[in-house]
Structure 1
Amino acid sequence: MKLGFVAFPKPPEEYLDFAVEHGFEHMEIDLFGPQQWLSKFHTARIRTLKRQIEERSLTVSFHAPYTLNLSDFIPEIRAANVQYVERLLNVACNLGAKWVTVHPGYGIGIPTLDWIRSKAMEGLKHSLDRLLLIAEKLQVPIALENINPAQPKSEILFLLDKAEGVKQLLSEYNSPMLKFCMDVGHAEISSGFTSFWAVVKERCIAMHVHDNDTYQDLHLVPGNGSINWHEVLTTLQRDGFEGVLNVELFLDEHKVAAKKFLEAILKGRGHAS
């Protein structure tokens, strides 16, 4: 089990020495901020960044922008999102990234209409059918992430916000390139860590780690919310999880505080990261 962090809001180059100084082993490059837009990962930058990563014995992954919608109802818009992820998979391959984390997308409409979710899921499957061919060719896994449920009466409906939806989708794909990134904070707002872990543990490659009050996606430092981290880490150790715990927090001091909090629990249980 490795401890890492999501590299945001600064460019990844500015986090390299930070990672080494604080003992992180992995860095997930978030592509939402302008300085990390995919178009800025040109050949020379990728070559230099790859060398810098290797010199520091780090591993990396990518996090696609959360606004991406692989489930869009409109085929032309969905196709543009798919093309973006295709480009990202190629950049990830060239950089030597271990996987690409992707949000599944969302539907928009009257929340009482059941077909909103089914139509969005249909769009996601169309996207995955295309993207997994690319992922298999490049040998770069796609890690889907569970999303916290939208607020009641919202006209936006997030996919994979419930454990049963995750289970159903994963059961339909046997590609070794389809993995899962479990967001522990998002799970807490839904049905909790245990229900999601039960359906993703065989394909879980990483976790996003942050805390909340069970109602809002607050991205608090672990230990400052409602999540039982002793239970989470005990379960991961018991089940032999060998992936990465990526702290997903904005401030650098919060990233470090979260790592220390997790390490204290792990070392208390006789496990060092």
Structure 2
Amino acid sequence: MLKAISTHVFLRQRLHPGLLDSLARSGAEAIEVFAARQHFDYTSKTHVNEIADWFRSNTVTPFSIHAPLYFDHDMGRAGAPAVNVAHPEKTRRIDSMDEIKRAIEVAEQIPLKYIVIHLGERHDTWSPRTLEHALTALEHLRAFASPLGVKLNVENILNEVTQAEHILEILRIGHFSDIGVCLDTGHAHISGGVDQVVGELKQHIRSSHIHDNHGEKDEHLWPGDGTVEWPKAMAELQSSQALEAAVLEIHYALEDAAEAVAAKAKEAFAKLLP
């Protein structure tokens, strides 16, 4: 399993080679780039080329990209809508798929293997119509990503749409044998427990988001700073035969300096993947 980290930890900063260097110093073998325009502007050829040049010059694998969650440069704080491919309004769904496609196009310069997709927003509910929208979105995005060598991973987020049984239903009905799951340990800890969620999704898990919380809110803490039982959680995750990477996804609001991030990530890798 690859030791990986998400650039989410630097989300308030413009992503640049210096920050990537610090992640590499942590011992990370792979990186997930978080697509947010104020951080990594996937619509800017200059910015994409800058990051692509870094990967070409380093041995760290560009493992995945996290699909954008917002259209704007401030994560929706000014009132811009969220990216939501399962939204009830057709225009919102189309606009959202187009935005994600812009992020997938990064693979023309950076050889990404996966894109992590959210189906809906926090607290979105499950219904036959939601199922239909999810199927349409995944089919459309899969067709766009495939020629670029990118595969889709659906993340279990904090809503009904991505509860384990609903992810399984989406994959089964859509015959999406080539679409996997990015198992988010923090979200699983809040919504049923890591063991239970991993157990249900095990055969589909290709990647994982590793972070901690206290079982009540989505804090994205360093492993060990919350209440996840990590030896048990990692043993369960590692029994997932298709799992390729453990991706640390730590909250930017902790505002750790780059060197502190490198040190904490190195410690986390030693603890989780000795």
Q: TM-score range by the shorter chain?
A: 0.7 to 0.9
The 1-side partners of 2:5 and 2:227 are apart by 21
TM-superposition CA deviations, 1:37-93 (whole Å, max 9, x none)? 3222x1x54344323213211112211123320101111111111111222222224
Partner of 1:84: 99
Q: Superposition pairs for residues 137-176 of structure 1, below 5 Å?
A: 137-149=147-159, 158-160=160-162, 162-176=163-177
TM-superposition CA deviations, 1:148-185 (whole Å, max 9, x none)? 24xxxxxxxx520x221122112223445412111100
The structure 1 segments of at least 4 consecutive aligned residues displaced by more than 6 Å after TM superposition are none
Instruction: Count the aligned residue pairs.
Output: 251
Q: Does 1:2 align with 2:5?
A: no
Contact map agreement 2:183 2:209 (CA 8 A) in 1: yes
Partner of 1:136: 146
Contact map agreement 2:120 2:161 (CA 8 A) in 1: yes
Question: Percent same amino acid among aligned pairs?
Answer: 23
Q: TM-score, normalised by structure 2?
A: 0.82
Question: Could you tell me how far 1:214 is from its partner in structure 2?
Answer: 1.0
The 1-side partners of 2:48 and 2:178 are apart by 23
Q: Superposition pairs for residues 144-223 of structure 1, below 5 Å?
A: 144-149=154-159, 158-160=160-162, 162-223=163-224
Contact map agreement 2:23 2:262 (CA 8 A) in 1: no
**Residues 108, 235 of structure 1: alpha-carbon distance in 2 compared, 3 angstrom cutoff:** closer
Partner of 2:67: 64
Q: TM-score, normalised by structure 1?
A: 0.82
RMSD of Structure 2 on Structure 1 (CA): 2.4
The 1-side partners of 2:108 and 2:194 are apart by 31
Q: Which has the higher contact order (CA 8 A, sep 6+)?
A: 2
Q: Does 1:51 align with 2:75?
A: no
SS across alignment from 1:211: coil
The 2-side partners of 1:12 and 1:176 are apart by 35
SS across alignment from 1:202: helix
TM-superposition CA deviations, 1:183-238 (whole Å, max 9, x none)? 10001110111222223333322111111111110111111111111012222334
**Residues 52, 106 of structure 1: alpha-carbon distance in 2 compared, 3 angstrom cutoff:** closer
The 1-side partners of 2:200 and 2:3 are apart by 23
Out of 238-247 and 221-230, give the one that drifted further: 238-247
Structure 1 unaligned runs (5+)? 150-157, 268-273
